[in-house]
A and B are shown apart, each in its own frame.
Chain A
Amino acid sequence: MSSDKFPEKKLPEEENGPQHSDARRTFLKQSSLLTALALAPSAAIKAAELKFEEKVAAVFEQVKVTLGINGKKHKLSIEPRATLLDLLREQMHLTGTKKGCDYGQCGACTVHVDGQRVLSCLTLAAMVDGKEVTTIEGLANGDKLHPMQEAFIKHDGFQCGYCTPGQIMSAVACVREGHADSDEEIREYMSGNICRCGAYPNIVNAIKEVKNGGQRV
């Protein structure tokens, strides 16, 4: 009966997804290009009035950076004002890291830089030159999920899932730092990750299980 009501629908082909979102991103990129021009410092505009080529060079001054992302080395040319979050999502298409508030208040964008958890929305990508970044995409070992990912599934550590990548990156760091010895300590050291669905008790349980399980995190 249920199969009548809910006919099994084939999910869209894997390759369709990225194409759709790429089109959307291209649009966003183009519109932010216009915004960039509008917000360019007056000095750059003045220079630009003199010579068109200089305008492009001055307004879109690029910084060259070399950084590791999930174990792979990348040589990139970026705008100085690009945040690490935007670099990951828009340029590297690693959309697992989420943009929540974009002002350092919610923790959804948490990633590890040289093993330390930080907020990628308040990190200028230019300042990560020479460092190693780990995102939620870099946590699993091939098809085998990281113990913290397994524990979040087992304990229902999420509802809508939007804060989850940040929660998991923060949770892994919380255990590695040695700040997961009690419920109280976990809550204090996870306070930088807001969950609007209120999955906190389950998140604490997931972290406790990983901590007590003694697996290598």
Chain B
Amino acid sequence: MIQFQYVKPSKPKAAIDTVAKDQSAVFIAGGTNLVDLMKRGVMNPEKLVDINKLPLRKIERENGNVRIGALALNGAVAEDKLVLEKHPLLAQALNAGASAQLRNMATVGGNMMQRVRCPYFYDTAMPCNKREPGTGCGALEGYNRMHAIFGHSDKCIAVNPSDMNVALVALDAVVLVSGPKGDRKIPFAEFHRLPGDTPQIHTNLQQGELIMAVDVPENPYTKNVNYLKVRDRNSYAFALVSVAAALDLDGSTIKSARLAMGGVAHKPWRLNEAEQFLAGKPATEATFRQAAQLAMRGAKAFEHNKFKLTLGPNTIVQALKNASGVA
């Protein structure tokens, strides 16, 4: 790890100004991803701005939303009474991520900012357009078992590794951001990016912008929800495919649905078409299967991840069955 300067401001403005002014400065919260990347030389910031003194840890009701502070710990959010009552899907997704130790360190804002886990991004001896634009994508013709089937480009086929993000995009969360030019709100679906020609740009945040909180709006998805994560071992592994499913049921009829996938794209992948299809239909396996087929339209796999074309729809069907209680 290279040497760096370490500062710990106590006001958001001071933190924002420091990073806004200095291209080589970054925020650090839990550090579970950043410290890892710095040890490997993938990220080499010359200044770390520790934001842990900022008052951003609260989880509270705010105008019908549940407002989760950017520094709330993943473990604390997953066990928070308000979150469990209003947004159990988010709690399930958080508990499916990482380990108990990491959830005690990782913050909500940091989870949103975590980088891809593509081995070509992590290995500084390999080509990677995200780490070093113009060097090529090692995964495209390489070992691409964990990689994307939606929204990829010939510049990058890595996936967003977060579980939390999948639940938050399904629940129409909104990101509250503060920056050198003031405050703004970013719909969760527009926070992360597809790689396109600029995979080195990770999110739509501007230099110096700081995540302050995430708002999860009131919704009817308090009961029939399921976050289903399929991985190489039963716990403590990144998703091959994951599905966040939320249903509002009237008897056995689906009033409305929310559906998103993880492990399949460079951003948490919302399945709008499948959601619209499910509305008004009976909650049966046949309906779920049709929705899953719709969801998979446009999927394109690579040499080693073709199994995701089958695993994907099967996981959608199973998550919907789990959520609805249909055997």
Interface residues of A (CB under 8 A from B): 36, 39-41, 43-44, 59-61, 63, 79-81, 83, 102-104, 107, 110, 116-119, 122-124, 126-127, 129, 170, 173-174, 177, 179, 187-193
A123 to B101, CA, bound (A): 11
Q: Which residues of B contact A107 (CB under 8 A)?
A: 99, 101
B2 CB → nearest A CB, Å:
5
Q: Is B63 an interface residue (CB 8 A)?
A: no
Chain B residues with CB under 8 A of A110: 101
Which residues of chain A have C-beta atoms less than 8 A from B36's C-beta? Answer: 103-104, 122
Interface size class of B (residues with CB under 8 A): 20 to 34
- Contacting pair B100 A179 (CB below 8 A): yes
Within 8 A of A (CB), among B1-42: 1-6, 8, 28, 31-32, 35-36, 38-40
Which residues of chain B from 21 to 76 have any CB-CB distance to chain A below 8 Å in the complex? 28, 31-32, 35-36, 38-40, 46, 48, 50, 52, 75
Which residues from B are CB-within-8-Å of A129?
8
Contact between chains at A40 and B102 (CB < 8 Å): no
B105 at the interface (CB under 8 A from A): yes
Residues of B within 8 Å of A119, CB to CB, are 32, 101-102, 105
The answer to whether residues A192 and B236 also contact, given A80-B48, A103-B36, A104-B102 and a CB cut-off of 8 A, is yes
Q: Which residues from chain B contact A174 at a C-beta distance below 8 Å?
A: 100
Identify 19 new A-B residue pairs, CB closer than 8 A, beyond the known A61-B5, A190-B100.
A61-B3, A80-B48, A81-B1, A81-B4, A83-B35, A103-B36, A104-B32, A116-B75, A117-B101, A118-B104, A119-B32, A119-B101, A123-B35, A127-B28, A177-B100, A187-B235, A191-B100, A191-B235, A192-B236
B98 within 8 A of A: yes
Contacts of A80 in B (CB 8 A): 3-6, 48
Question: B100–A117 contact, CB under 8 A?
Answer: yes
Q: Complex formed: what's the CA distance from A44 to B101 in Å?
A: 35
What separation, in Å, do the CA atoms of A192 and B28 have in the docked complex? Answer: 22
The CA-CA distance from A43 to B45 in the complex, in Å, is 12
23 inter-chain pairs at a CB distance below 8 angstroms, sorted by A residue, are A39-B3, A41-B2, A41-B4, A41-B46, A44-B3, A61-B5, A104-B36, A117-B101, A119-B101, A119-B102, A122-B35, A122-B36, A126-B8, A170-B101, A173-B100, A174-B100, A188-B235, A189-B100, A191-B100, A191-B235, A192-B98, A192-B100, A192-B236
What chain B residues lie within 8 Å of A123 (beta carbons)? 31, 35, 105
| Min CB gap A21→B, angstroms | 24
Q: Give Cα distance in the complex from A107 to B102, angstroms.
A: 10
Question: Once the chains bind, are B104 and A126 in contact (CB under 8 Å)?
Answer: no
Residues of A with C-beta under 8 A to B39: 102-103
Interface residue ranges, B against A (CB under 8 Å): 1-6, 8, 28, 31-32, 35-36, 38-40, 46, 48, 50, 52, 75, 98-102, 104-105, 234-236
**Complex: A147 Cα to B4 Cα, angstroms:** 42
Residues of B within 8 A of A193 (CB): 99
- In the complex, chain B residues whose CB is within 8 Å of the CB of A190: 100
Residues of A within 8 A of B100 (CB): 117, 170, 173-174, 177, 179, 189-192
Given A110-B101, A170-B100, A173-B100: A36 touches B3 (CB 8 Å cut-off):
yes
Interface centre among A60, A107, A116 (most CB of B within 10 A): A116
Contacts of B5 in A (CB 8 A): 61, 80
Top-6 shortest CB links A-B: A192-B99, A191-B235, A80-B6, A191-B236, A116-B104, A39-B2
Task: Tell me the complex Cα distance, A124–B7, Å.
Answer: 13
Whether the Cβ atoms of A40 and B2 lie closer than 8 Å is yes
Residue ID in chain B nearest A44 by CB atoms: B3
Q: Which of A61, A124, A174 is most buried by chain B, counting CB atoms within 10 A of its CB?
A: A124
CB nearest to B37 among chain A residues: A103
Residues of B within 8 A of A192 (CB): 98-102, 236
Give Cα A71–Cα B46 distance, bound, in whole angstroms. Answer: 34
- A116 to B106 CA separation, bound complex (whole angstroms): 13
Taking CB atoms, residues of chain A closer than 8 Å to B104 are: 116-118
